Amino acid sequence: MTKLIVSDYVAPIVGYRFWVWDKEIGPQLRSMQGGQPWIPRQRLQAYCVQADRETWSYIISHHHEAPDEHCSCGIYAVKSLNSPLDLRKAHIYGEVYLWGKIIEHRYGYRAQFAYPKSFVLQKGILGCLSHLVDYGVEIRDADSKVLWTPATTSSSGISSASPGAQGRP
Ligand SMILES: [Zn+2]
């Protein structure tokens, strides 16, 4: 049986996760296609959702606060990039701050609150860079080249990154 460790963190811990850049609704950074949007400068709070099989949508469950020990809700992150889920295949992945109630599993966490700490963008998704700077966190490409950091002004950061952003191999 898996032993769960439930903690309440005031100071954030750091995990890793991937995101989806959803051009159809938004454009917005999301947990998955159609999932919860991550808003710049705003913490993401987990809520428990249940699938409504009639409307093919998700409805918020008010049975408990998320995450819950006996449910699968919460904001997911893994402990390491070397976990069984290889995040480096995702278009956008990176570090994420987690805090509040956190349920620890073998390879990762389910958290109550989260905010991105850094992003790594694959080449095919560099067009969203100008949107992602709104989050105010460091952004690198898949070769670890810094595309933008909070220390640079947004205009110079974007212009210095633009040769790569234009799709140069
Ligand atoms: Zn739940």
**How far, CA to CA in Å, does 129 sit from each of 79, 86, 99, 169?**
25, 22, 26, 17
Look at residues 127, 147, 129, 125 and name the one whose alpha carbon lies nearest to residue 138. Answer: 147
Distance CA(110)–CA(116), nearest Å, equals 15
CA of 103 to the centre of ligand 1 (A): 12
pLDDT given for residue 152 in this prediction: 52
End-to-end CA distance of the chain: 48
Which residue, chain included where needed, has tokens 């909070």?
Answer: 150
Q: Please identify every residue whose CB atom is under 5 Å from ligand 1, which is an ion.
A: 48, 68, 71, 73
CA of 136 to the centre of ligand 1 (A): 30
What length is written for the chain? 169
pLDDT given for residue 166 in this prediction: 39
CA of 61 to the centre of ligand 1 (A): 7
User: For residue range 65-106, what is the model confidence (pLDDT) as tens digits?
Assistant: 999 999 989 999 999 988 888 888 889 999 999 999 999 999
CA of 22 to the centre of ligand 1 (A): 24
Which two structure tokens, joined as six digits, stand for 42?
Answer: 């705003």
Look at residues 122, 123, 151 and name the one whose alpha carbon lies nearest to residue 136. Answer: 151
pLDDT tier at 137 (50, 70, 90 boundaries)?
very high
Contact, 94 vs 116, CB < 8 A? Answer: yes
CA of 166 to the centre of ligand 1 (A): 42
User: For residue range 43-57, what is the model confidence (pLDDT) as tens digits?
Assistant: 999 988 877 777 777
- Is pTM, for the whole model, over 0.85? no
pLDDT given for residue 153 in this prediction: 53
CA of 43 to the centre of ligand 1 (A): 19
Say whether 151 sits in a helix, a strand or coil: coil
Which residues, 6 or more positions from 121, have their beta carbon under 8 angstroms from its beta carbon?
Answer: 91, 92, 128, 129, 132, 139, 140, 141, 142, 147
Mean of all residue pLDDT scores within the chain: 83
Question: In this structure, what DSSP letter does residue 72 have?
Answer: -
CA of 111 to the centre of ligand 1 (A): 12
Q: Where are the domains of the chain?
A: 13-45+75-166
Distance CA(47)–CA(65), nearest Å, equals 7
Distance CA(126)–CA(55), nearest Å, equals 34
CA of 149 to the centre of ligand 1 (A): 35
